[in-house]
Amino acid sequence: MELRFKVEVNAAKETIWPYYADPLKRHIWEEDLESLTFDGELKTGTTGKMKLKEMPEMSFTLINIVPNESYWDRTEVPGIGGILFEHDILKENGKIYIQHTVSLNKENPSEEDFNFLCGVFSDVPDSVMKIKKEVEK
């Protein structure tokens, strides 16, 4: 089960990438982010921790890191399953797009799981639009 938001941006991929790779720039679009740390280099397989306001600290694993293209991380949520966050910078027909996808990896997801996923996804469009606004300045 997944939800996705995609928008065209007038900026180079290299201008967009730091908003994923630099924890300080993450605060610009992820307003509830209190802390973000990596247990190594920013590359596929690296683990880390993040703390969101009014939430416990969560561990994550970077599962697909391609500089200037993809930043994917996975978090295990007890009682829910694996939540995959895909942040992609795409080039299609000469245009650049930012696309964020949130998916729940669970067999036979329930209506409660769907509602949980919708809650996780609810701020994604606003977050993507904040990145767009920043990179188009």
pTM beyond 0.85, yes or no: yes
Residues contacting residue 62 through CB under 8 Å, at least 6 positions apart: 38, 42, 43, 44, 45, 46, 47, 48, 71, 72, 73
* pLDDT value of residue 103: 97
What are the Cα distances from residue 3, in Å, to 82, 105, 123, 126? 14, 12, 12, 14
Query: Residue 3 pairs with which residues in a beta bridge?
Result: 102
The count of C-alpha atoms lying within 13 angstroms of the C-alpha of 60, restricted to the half-sphere facing its C-beta, is 27
Domain 2-30+67-135 has CATH 2.60.120.10: no
What are the Cα distances from residue 9, in Å, to 74, 95, 99, 116? 26, 8, 10, 29
* pLDDT value of residue 62: 98
* pLDDT value of residue 56: 86
Which pLDDT tens digit goes with each residue over 83-105? 999 999 999 999 999 999 999 98
Farthest CA pair distance, the chain: 44
Could you tell me the residue ranges of all domains in the chain? 2-30+67-135
Which pLDDT tens digit goes with each residue over 25-68? 999 999 889 999 999 999 999 999 999 898 889 999 999 999 99
Q: Which two tokens stand for residue 123?
A: 């701020």
* pLDDT value of residue 31: 87
Which pLDDT tens digit goes with each residue over 126-136? 999 999 999 99
What mean pLDDT is predicted for residues 97-123?
93
